[in-house]
Structures are given as structure tokens and as C-alpha cells.
Amino acid sequence: MRARVVVGVDLGGTNLGTAVITDSKDILAKLTVPTNAHEGPEAVIDAIERSVRRALAEAGADLTDTLAVCVGSPGPLNWQTGIVYHAPNLPGWNDIPLGEKLHDRLAVPCYVDNDANVACYGEYWLGAGQGVSTLCLLTLGTGVGGGLVINGELIRGIDGTAAEIGHMKVMRGGRRCGCGRDGCFEAYASVTGMLRTAAEGMEGGSETLLNTLCHNDTAKLTGKMISEAIDKGDDFAKEVMEETGAWIGIGIANLVNILNPEKIVLCGGMVAAGDILFDAIRQSVDENAFEVPAQRAEIVPAGLGDDSGVIGAAGVALSRYTVDHRAP
């Protein structure tokens, strides 16, 4: 008997990842192609279709073996109807019925779910969270995204908007956030937040190699410059990274006090900073959360690296297929 498979798709602004995984968790094929987002929604949906068919062929499978497909998509979107309302990095994506359009092409159940939620499920299913029932995923990049698995279930909330961890307020009256509100976690804990922390210090007159690296223009600062300055022994850059870790730890401490999870999985650009960041985060969580849940929560980088999303999408496809086809 041929294996039954699910297909996960990670729809990013730049790249489109696709994976074919059996219902016993064997990864049979995985490929990445450019999204070519500038060509518009129909072209991208064509690319998803081609990618799914190609990955299935590479896996030695076809659509008759396929239980379901799931696309992890940027949002906001409706996971129940499969409509993507808007995707900032995908030009022209407004109210696109992605699930339905894919189903028309592939004739198997085609689900759509939030990309960060799907990545969290990936870590739970096959990554750093295997064997764990409750975990939180934080994506620490330009912004801060999140996903929650509680008692083995992906938490989407009643409208599918849950896990907006980046917009938890940690500092009333604090920094203005991209969302228009003030004091959001994301305004401090993202790469963007870290660069603002650096810029504020530099504008306050701090001596640092960063002045040279950015040619005295703090608007040109990058995360890479911070890392480079740290590598060269720059104390200010190290303090900026530690301060950012302290903020990340505050948000995590809130999740730890509220949810008492077993693991916190971190992914995104910030994670590359390594021990200097993780040590600061750990210390901040210990200081800011209650002892028992703080001691419990292991804080680890994503086990699947950049593949959390594509593997998670396949996992969600299997999970949703199973729920939809459960005996009554």
C-alpha cells in the first residue's frame, strides 16, 4: 500500500516552500522556489499548484495519495473559509479565496492557516516541541509574531486572531509601535526595536563602533552591524543586545505566568545572536515570572530552523483533515 501524504506550503513574500510528509511523519520531499509575488495572486497560486505537483512527483506520490494540502500564509486571513484578506508582502492580495482556488486546481482538501501559527505547530509536531503539550513560539524578526499550542491544540481564538504576542502592552505610555499603539512588546523585542534602542543610546552620546559602521546615520543601522560590533568587543552593542534580551524576557515572562508552558521556541532573525541573547532572555524570565513556571519553561531556538513553517503547514493539513473526517 502506498503511503498517505499531506502537503505543506509556506507562502512567503520572497520564497515558496513545499513539503510532502507521510501521515507517519516521514518527510518525502521538500523544495523551495521563488514566490514571484510581483506577478500577482493568480501567478502565485499557479506557482503553488506547480510546486505541490512537483513535490508530490519528487516524493513518488500523487494527488490520489494526498489527504490534504495546507498553506501557511501571511495574514490577516480566515482559516475557516480559506480567504486571505490582506498580505502586506504579496501585492494585490485582497480578499483572495486561496483555499477555494487551490481546491479547484487540486481537488483535495486545501486549508489555509496563519504562518506563525503553522510554524508553532511545526515545532510541536516535528521540532523542538516534540513530546511537549503546551508551547509558545515567538518569531523575532522585523516584528514579533507568535503561535500557541496548548494541550496539543493550535490556539487560533474565535476569529482566528489569537497569538498576537507582539502587541501585548509591556510599557504603558512607551514607544510608539507600528500598529499605532504605544508600549507594545514588538516595539522593544524585535530587530526594529533593538535598532531603536541602539539609536536612542547613540543619539544620547554613547561611544560605540556602531557610529563608524553606520556612518553616523542611525537610520542606516542593521542587525548585522550590531552583531559585527559585538564580535569586535563593542560594549555598547553588547548592552543593546542584552537590553533587547531583557525586553524579550519580559514578554516571555508574561506568557509563562499566563500559560505555564513547557517550552518557549524562538525563531526569526534575532535568534542568530546566540548565547549573549539567550542568557539575557533567561535571566529576565527568571526575574519577571514566578519561580515554578519560570524554572519549567525551557527557552530554545526552533528545532526545524527555517522549515518550521513548511513542515508545520503539512502537520496542520493532517490535523485538520483528521478533525474534518473524524467518525461522527
| 285 near a second copy, rule: CB under 8 A | no
| 27 near a second copy, rule: CB under 8 A | no
Say if residues 160 and 78 touch (Cβ distance below 8 Å). yes
**Residue 221 parent element (H or E):** none
Question: Of the two residues 10 and 115, which places its CB atom closer to a second copy in the complex?
Answer: 115
Q: Which of 255, 252, 257 lies closest to 292, judged by CA?
A: 257
Size of the site for a second copy (CB under 8 A): 46
Q: What is the 3-state secondary structure (H, E, C) of 241-302?
A: HHHHHHHHHHHHHHHHHHHCCCEEEEECHHHHHCHHHHHHHHHHHHHHCCHHHHHHCEEEEC
Question: Of the two residues 172 and 215, which places its CB atom closer to a second copy in the complex?
Answer: 172
Say if residues 31 and 51 touch (Cβ distance below 8 Å). yes
Say if residues 132 and 90 touch (Cβ distance below 8 Å). no
| 287 near a second copy, rule: CB under 8 A | yes
Site of grid cell 534602542: 197
Single residue of 40, 60, 157, 274 touching a second copy by CB under 8 A: 157
Say if residues 67 and 315 touch (Cβ distance below 8 Å). no
Q: Which stretch binds a second copy (CB under 8 A): 41-49, 63-71, 189-197, 283-291?
A: 283-291
- The one-letter amino acid code at 213 reads L
Question: Of the two residues 1 and 158, which places its CB atom closer to a second copy in the complex?
Answer: 158
| 262 near a second copy, rule: CB under 8 A | yes
Single residue of 193, 261, 268, 303 touching a second copy by CB under 8 A: 261
Q: Which stretch binds a second copy (CB under 8 A): 120-128, 209-217, 248-256, 317-325?
A: 248-256
DSSP 146: E
Q: Which stretch binds a second copy (CB under 8 A): 16-24, 51-59, 157-165, 223-231?
A: 157-165
Binding mask 181-220 for a second copy (x = CB under 8 A): x---------------------------------------
DSSP 17: E
| 63 near a second copy, rule: CB under 8 A | no
| 175 near a second copy, rule: CB under 8 A | no
Chain residues 307-326 in contact with a second copy, contact rule CB under 8 A: none
Say if residues 224 and 258 touch (Cβ distance below 8 Å). no
Residue 244 CB, shortest distance to a second copy, in Å, is 13
Single residue of 32, 218, 257, 283 touching a second copy by CB under 8 A: 257
- The one-letter amino acid code at 98 reads L
Q: Which of 123, 101, 102, 99 lies closest to 113, judged by CA?
A: 99
Q: Which stretch binds a second copy (CB under 8 A): 9-17, 98-106, 151-159, 218-226?
A: 151-159
| 19 near a second copy, rule: CB under 8 A | no
* 66-73, strands of its sheet edge to edge: 27-34, 15-22, 5-11, 66-73, 110-114
Question: Of the two residues 258 and 272, which places its CB atom closer to a second copy in the complex?
Answer: 258
Residues in contact with a second copy by CB under 8 A are 76, 133-134, 146, 148, 150-151, 153, 155-165, 167-172, 174, 179, 181, 247, 250, 253-255, 257-262, 287-290, 292-293, 296
